[in-house]
Structure 1
Amino acid sequence: MTPERRRGEALVRAIHEAVLAEVADTGLGGLSMEGIARRAATAKTVLYRRWATPFELLIDALGEAHPVEVPTPAADDLRADLIAALTLLTDWMATPAAGAVLVITSERARYPELAEALYSKVFDPRGGTFTTTVLRHYAASGRVDPRRLTPITTQIGEALVFKLSIDNGRIPDVDELAAIVDEALLPALGL
């Protein structure tokens, strides 16, 4: 029986999964179109039709895999929306995409253009940190003072999630996420 030929989104999804798995196995230095194509069970020419380099393909895969928080349209429960945004972050932290991001940020000095592309093409278009979209939504609705949305306050939640993960050797649970919101983020916003 001949394997079914993948096209369109199914093929792109397989290629994205392959590049993330390849980074996990080979690191950035070993990332190649040959390895990605082999892992995705497709021809190298298929990759080159859409992406010029393995790093370009990697950034595309990370962009597709990066979640964006969606605050409640009514902007009526900031605390719940912030906890949901941090939960989205902790869920993402267990994915191959997060592992690839860790590899890129760890190798920033060696691959500065790749790190820059990660921020300019993946993080920045999606609001930056995992709470920024929520905070901007609430500021636009008049429920948060926009002057409080500084580079520090918009990063507090994400920074504490990473700090607790490093210190405890595990991803924070929902009670810890609520504590981050209640004890650090909301007070920093003057709420």
Structure 2
Amino acid sequence: MEGIARRAGTAKTVLYRRWATTHELLIDALAQTCPVEVPSPGANDLRGDLIAALTLLTDWMQTASAGAVLAITSERHRYPELAEALYRKVFDPRGGTFTTTVLQHYVANGQVDPKRLTPITTQIGEALVFKLAIDLDRRPTAEELAAIVDEALLPALGVG
């Protein structure tokens, strides 16, 4: 807290009035910096919106916030309450994955069958992005993101 207070130009007591622990501060910071995808208002470009959501994910993967999330999730066994707070306060309110908001938008507009939104189909895009990033030691290209959407996500959703 001392380093944070110094960088913020305030006293530690000011921070402790709002956050009792550094974990609480970290979770609030992650909630503020985790991007949210914004589907097209007319729900007329599912493919483009899914690619945009996965692009948002790959952009976010390059941030300090993503590094903090990786640290929390990889140390989940040591700090289970921190990992639980990450999901409850950061991921769950925004649907859980970088494509969920888009998918729910298209379900609400009658363009995707709600029965197709399963715990597996909602994670396909993210899972393949992470798999490619790990295997290739780089972020997936625009062409690879389009292939994830065209060859995996849209078929799994029964679209296209």
Matched, 1:68 2:46: no
Cα shift readout 1:49-90 (whole Å, capped 9, x = no counterpart): 211110000000000000110101110010000000000101
Q: How do 1:85-100 residues align onto structure 2 when only pairs under 5 Å count?
A: 85-100=53-68
Aligned residues: 159
Q: Which letter does structure 1 place at the counterpart of 2:28?
A: D
In 2: Cα distance, 1:41 partner to 1:172 partner: 39
In 1: Cα distance, 2:130 partner to 2:51 partner: 15
Q: How do 1:94-173 residues align onto structure 2 when only pairs under 5 Å count?
A: 94-173=62-141
Pairing partner for 1:188 from 149, 156, 160: 156
Q: Which letter does structure 2 place at the counterpart of 1:165?
A: A
Residue range with higher mean Cα deviation, 116-125 or 41-50: 41-50
In 1: Cα distance, 2:7 partner to 2:26 partner: 14
Structure 1 residue 35: Cα displacement: 3.0
Matched, 1:35 2:8: no
> TM-score, normalised to structure 1's length?
0.81
Structure 1 residue 173: Cα displacement: 1.1
In 1: Cα distance, 2:140 partner to 2:14 partner: 40
> TM-score, normalised to structure 2's length?
0.97
In 1: Cα distance, 2:136 partner to 2:4 partner: 34
Structure 1 residue 38: Cα displacement: 3.1
Equivalent position SS for 1:185: helix
Counterpart in the other structure of 2:144: 176
Counterpart in the other structure of 1:81: 49
RMSD value over aligned CA atoms? 0.9
Gaps of 5+ in 1: 1-32
Q: Which letter does structure 2 place at the counterpart of 1:127?
A: G
The percent identity for this pair of structures is 81
In 2: Cα distance, 1:43 partner to 1:171 partner: 39
Equivalent position SS for 2:5: helix
Counterpart in the other structure of 2:21: 53
Cα shift readout 1:127-146 (whole Å, capped 9, x = no counterpart): 11000000010011110000
In 1: Cα distance, 2:121 partner to 2:2 partner: 43
